[in-house]
């Protein structure tokens, strides 16, 4: 009897509701604070940049939040995504473990990001919004939002970090093909961008600057809103479609994972894939489930950061969040996994790490790319540098299973393809990758600049 | 009741045999000729570069040729590919036609090419071959062969046309990530390459030169064979897995196409997707089925070429084939659909065109990219410039259906994604695409150099 390579569920079982882990957490994180007043943020603090339905979801404690039919219709373009059995990787490792992965690289933008870009665009369209502004670093999020906005007849304006704009023209062209307007950030399109340009005409920008430009654009124009690709509760919520589909596929296989891992940038990919399983750990249904968050050694938020209140953005204009942080002014070394260079993480994820339900591990990029190369050699797919972080963890766990003779079921979410990251693979193949030490001194300086609330 | 976006069949129904249209053609094409003797080629003419099983398949008249289990196992990595209903495109066009497409872009190399790269690698491995040499222009074929050879533990050597090597580093890196050795052609690695380099040190190469280098490499080394990505019968045969899967999906939908189209470079993608349907036209089961081959106006082999014997390669070392040809010395203008710049086409396809079973149409690249842009706006996927040729034909047919009030079922094979072709999209978006006139004078000169056999 042949073992199947993958499980692809029928479109009809695309989940009808997202899962909100807030309903099941023993203790909730401390609330976000208004950056001016330092008091708990209220719904009206967010109305200049978000539609009311997004704000409602951000603050909701309901366990299930219905997915609109119009959003499920768009999800059908690529969902359900396949759940693969990584047989060739298992054979190469000679491990008794079974390795499964969800493959989000089949979406048109090539990652998990449209799972939230599409509903965010939908709710903005329903609220009469005509244009959405956002920032993008590596380009995955900007691509996804351009795609989502286009499908609901809206414009997208993307502030793309200057360095990335220069190095990744294909990501820019992808967004433009989907009708987005892409600005090299800092741009002359906002007061903040012009100010930064004037102070430093040669700057190649940063994600913090790009966020500030996008927020300003949204806050200063009628019928224009802002959209964010990770960190906040509503983004995490939308991504649970990954974990919910994975659970259905595992039911069909009559399996349940023992070990789950995923990469963490802002935490939405990780949380979306794992929270439906974390629910079973919280409820005692699967108390011994191991869940591991994987991050880069040069931006090790969960493994080296402090659990404190900090600003969500560099300029200190965004809400203050209770989370693990390396300090909002910390700028990590230029690793290739551009999506993992955020100073903080989702408050929901951080609270679950803090309370001991989820573990964390950090890797150097050379060991990460070794894992990506082995994955490409065995499973074929050339994956994003971000996703390669969890593949490193999977390989290490599978080898531990081999050493200990354990027959474990391993699951990870393979969050996207690396078609626009081949420059990083080239550097790896040529032995030119740099493994940056953990920048302890820079973090110390950044942590000294936390808001006074702590 | 919601209409499904796509049909994805279970892995178990991946076909167990390829379909060989030679068994059902009313008349076969004239045989290939040995380029030296100009007599019909024999099996032993091919043994220096192909394994015996490939030669057997090349010459077989059997209707069904079994797919080895080991090949089906690899196919499972991405097959069956989805059959999509292009609902959003239909809605945009306001057409009563139903548009379906098979999506081959989900394979790790991103196109239909691994459907034949994998069995070719397998048969070479079984024959004790340790390395396979091939050429690549746009890079799709070289990627697929690198992938296939790697999965069966062999080395691949790819001679990549110099201009493409310089312009598409990501394709090179993809091949290297899959362990291939990639040479910029003409290279110093072969006598022929050195000769061309000496004559013209600044040359950026051509597909003809790259073929000659790969064939020389294979013919002059023990345990090294050559592999080809289109044109020949065994390549067309392997690609029928596309059309066979599509027929199964249409059965599940209780539909049958009225109009089928596909792009033609060497003809394997087109033939693989359509021949299982052509069988029903030949047998009289579906006599009115319309089948249209789509090609570029700057290399319009089927619409402007002559049906004569001509060399398969530029240097005149490959077998002489009876086909539509623009002349083996013809070099077409530098359009972005690099995979469609071959002077001839599959002899099987050409014979069916000659005998009136299949039609052909040629397009300028601006109208082709307009179609690709509309497809990206509605269906999301950013497709290869090659695939965009049939999307042009589909849109035109859907608009005819609208004008005439016809409810037709349209089917096409969407042969690959355009993630490495975004430079071409950029040129289109900036209004910089050039529509080359049909180069009648160059073709006239090339046709004057056909072999004496005609």
pLDDT in tens, chain A (454 residues): 456 788 888 899 999 999 999 999 999 999 999 999 999 999 999 999 999 999 999 999 999 999 999 999 999 999 999 999 999 999 999 999 999 999 999 999 999 999 999 999 999 999 999 999 999 988 999 999 999 999 999 999 999 999 889 988 999 999 999 999 999 999 999 999 999 999 999 988 888 889 989 999 999 999 999 999 999 999 999 999 999 999 999 999 999 999 999 999 999 999 999 999 999 999 999 999 999 999 999 999 999 999 999 998 887 888 999 999 999 988 888 888 888 988 999 999 999 999 999 999 999 999 999 999 999 999 999 999 999 999 999 999 999 999 999 999 999 999 999 999 999 999 999 999 999 989 999 999 999 999 888 7
Q: Which of B79, B90, B170 to substitute to test the interface with A, most A CBs within 10 Å?
A: B170
Six-digit token string for A362? 């950090």
ipTM associated with this complex: 0.95
Return d(Cα A323, Cα B303) in angstroms, integer.
Answer: 65
Residue B5 is nearest to which of A77, A422, A429, comparing CB atoms?
A77
- Given a contact cutoff of 8 angstroms between Cβ atoms, the answer to whether B215 and B49 are in contact is yes
Task: Give the full edge-to-edge strand order of the sheet including B83-85.
Answer: B6-7, B83-85, B98-103, B409-414, B259-263, B290-296, B359-363
Tens of pLDDT along A69-85?
999 999 999 999 999 99
Residue A177 is nearest to which of B2, B169, B373, comparing CB atoms?
B373
Return d(Cα A70, Cα A75) in angstroms, integer.
Answer: 9
CB-based contact B419 A110, cutoff 8 Å: yes
Contacts of B169 in chain A (CB under 8 A): 422-423, 426
Count of CA atoms in the C-beta half-sphere (13 A) of B250: 22
* Cα separation of the two ends of chain A: 60
Tokens 């590596």: give the residue.
A138
The helix (run of H) or strand (run of E) holding residue B101 is strand B98-103
Contacts of B381 in chain A (CB under 8 A): 108
Contacts of B423 in chain A (CB under 8 A): 169-170, 173
Residue of chain B whose Cα is closest to the Cα of A376:
B178
Residue of chain B whose Cα is closest to the Cα of A87:
B77
In degrees to the nearest 10, what's the CA dihedral of A273, A275, A281, A283? -140
Per-residue pLDDT at A3: 67
Q: Which residues of B touch A (CB under 8 A)?
A: 2, 4-6, 8, 11, 73, 76-78, 88, 106, 108, 110, 147, 150-151, 169-170, 173-174, 176-179, 373, 376-377, 379-382, 419-420, 422-423, 425-426, 429
Q: Which of A3, A5, A85 to substitute to test the interface with B, most B CBs within 10 Å?
A: A5
Residue A425 is nearest to which of B78, B173, B179, comparing CB atoms?
B173
Six-digit token string for B121? 């690698």
| pLDDT exceeds 50 at position B117 | yes
Mark A115-144 as b/e (b = at least 16 C-beta within 10 Å). Answer: bbbbbbbbbbbeeebebbbbbbbbbbbbbb
Tens of pLDDT along B380-427?
999 999 999 999 999 999 999 999 999 999 999 999 999 999 999 999
Residue B176 is nearest to which of A8, A147, A429, comparing CB atoms?
A429
State the DSSP code for B340: G
Query: A353: left (phi > 0), else alpha (psi -120 to 50), else beta?
Result: alpha
Single out the residue of B127, A192, A219 nearest to residue A183, CA to CA.
A192
Residue A373 is nearest to which of B78, B177, B426, comparing CB atoms?
B177
| pLDDT exceeds 60 at position B324 | yes
Residue A76 is nearest to which of B5, B179, B420, comparing CB atoms?
B5
Return d(Cα B255, Cα A359) in angstroms, integer.
Answer: 51
Q: To the nearest whole angstrom, how far is the Cα of A289 from the nearest Cα of chain B?
A: 28
Query: A318: left (phi > 0), else alpha (psi -120 to 50), else beta?
Result: beta
Q: Where are the alpha helices (DSSP H) in B333-418?
A: 347-354, 365-379, 385-404
Return d(Cα B358, Cα B348) in angstroms, integer.
Answer: 11
Q: To the nearest whole angstrom, how far is the Cα of A382 from the nearest Cα of chain B?
A: 7
């Amino acid at each position: 009897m042949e073992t199947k390579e993958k499980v692809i569920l029928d479109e009809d079982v695309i989940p009808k509701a997202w899962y909100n882990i807030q309903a099941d957490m023993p203790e909730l994180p401390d609330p976000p604070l208004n950056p001016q007043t330092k008091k708990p943020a209220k719904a009206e603090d967010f109305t200049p940049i978000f539609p009311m339905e997004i704000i409602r979801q951000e603050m909701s404690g309901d366990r299930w939040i219905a997915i609109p039919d119009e959003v499920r219709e768009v999800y059908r373009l690529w969902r359900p995504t396949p759940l693969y059995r990584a047989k060739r990787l298992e054979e190469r490792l000679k491990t008794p473990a079974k390795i499964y992965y969800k493959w989000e690289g089949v979406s048109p933008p090539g990652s998990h990001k449209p799972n939230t870009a599409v509903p965010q665009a939908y709710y903005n369209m329903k609220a009469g919004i005509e244009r959405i502004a956002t920032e993008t670093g590596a380009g995955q999020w900007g691509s996804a939002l351009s795609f989502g906005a286009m499908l609901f007849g809206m414009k997208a304006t993307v502030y793309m970090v200057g360095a990335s704009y220069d190095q990744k023209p294909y990501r820019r062209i992808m967004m433009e093909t989907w009708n987005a307007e892409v600005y090299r950030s800092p741009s002359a399109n906002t007061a903040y961008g012009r100010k930064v340009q004037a102070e430093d005409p040669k700057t190649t920008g940063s994600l913090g600057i790009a966020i500030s430009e996008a927020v300003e654009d949204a806050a200063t124009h009628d019928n224009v809103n802002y959209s964010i690709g990770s960190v906040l509760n509503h983004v995490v919520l939308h991504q649970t479609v990954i974990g919910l589909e994975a659970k259905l596929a595992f039911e069909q296989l009559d399996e349940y994972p023992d070990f789950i891992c995923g990469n963490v940038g802002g935490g939405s990919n990780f949380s979306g894939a794992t929270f439906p399983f974390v629910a079973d750990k919280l409820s005692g249904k699967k108390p011994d489930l191991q869940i591991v968050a994987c991050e880069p050694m040069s931006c090790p938020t969960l493994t080296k950061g402090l659990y404190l209140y900090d600003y969500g953005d560099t300029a200190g204009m965004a809400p203050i969040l209770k989370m693990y942080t390396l300090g909002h002014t910390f700028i990590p070394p230029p690793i290739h996994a551009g999506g993992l260079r955020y100073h903080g993480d989702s408050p929901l994820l951080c609270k679950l790490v803090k309370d001991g339900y989820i573990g964390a591990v950090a890797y150097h990029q050379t060991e990460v790319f070794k894992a990506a190369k082995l994955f490409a050699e065995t499973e074929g797919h050339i994956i994003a540098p971000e996703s390669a972080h969890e593949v490193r963890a999977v390989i290490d766990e599978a080898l531990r299973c081999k050493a200990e003779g354990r027959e474990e079921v391993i699951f990870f979410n393979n969050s996207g393809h690396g078609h626009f990251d081949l420059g990083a693979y080239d550097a790896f193949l040529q032995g030119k990758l740099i493994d940056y030490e953990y920048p302890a001194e820079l973090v110390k300086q950044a942590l000294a600049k936390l808001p006074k609330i702590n």
